[in-house]
Amino acid sequence: MYRIIGADGRPYGPVSGGQLRQWIAEGRANAQTQCLAEGAPAWLPLGAVPEFAACFAATIPPTIGPLPSPVGAARASGFATAGMICGILSLGCCCCYGLPFNLLGLVFSIIGLAQASRHPGIYSNGQALAGLILSLLSLLLFGAVLIIGLATGNTQFQWNFSGL
């Protein structure tokens, strides 16, 4: 029995060797398709699995672009990481009420979430969600401070470095 990662980044299987050979014949799997044999320690390209090597040409062409990660091994994109860091800084930075970190955190986190939705097998969305939540929380706190200041008649809304 075998499992494969399809071109769409989704796992398929377990399937028998006969079914997998049929998928190869139909063009649904190729020599670069990642395959995990039952009991095998690691994912391999189908062209490197002895049972299916004869189904392909003698040489395996080089892979263009990143291979899909096995399920559970997705990583965070750089934008998601930047969004989370900006979100943390926006709450930890009392000067300027978190600005500009909360705005940058929103932008980076939204880009990170878009990347994760376009490439689910490659990118995870955990850090992007954390950055989005932290940045939104910082903006809400800024809005609350602004509303309270205006409601109490404090028209001298100062941008200082002494904190809230």
Q: For the beta carbon of residue 66, count every other beta carbon within 10 angstroms.
A: 9
- Domain locations along the chain: 2-55, 78-151
* First-to-final CA distance of the chain: 61
Fold of 2-55: Dna Ligase; domain 1 (3.30.1490)
Pairing mode of beta strands 11-15, 34-37: unpaired
164 residues of the chain, pLDDT tens digit each: 899 988 888 888 889 988 988 888 888 888 888 999 888 888 888 888 888 888 876 545 566 666 555 555 678 899 999 999 999 998 887 667 788 889 999 999 999 999 988 888 788 889 999 999 999 999 998 888 888 888 887 756 555 444 44
> Which pLDDT does position 129 carry in this prediction?
93
DSSP 47: G
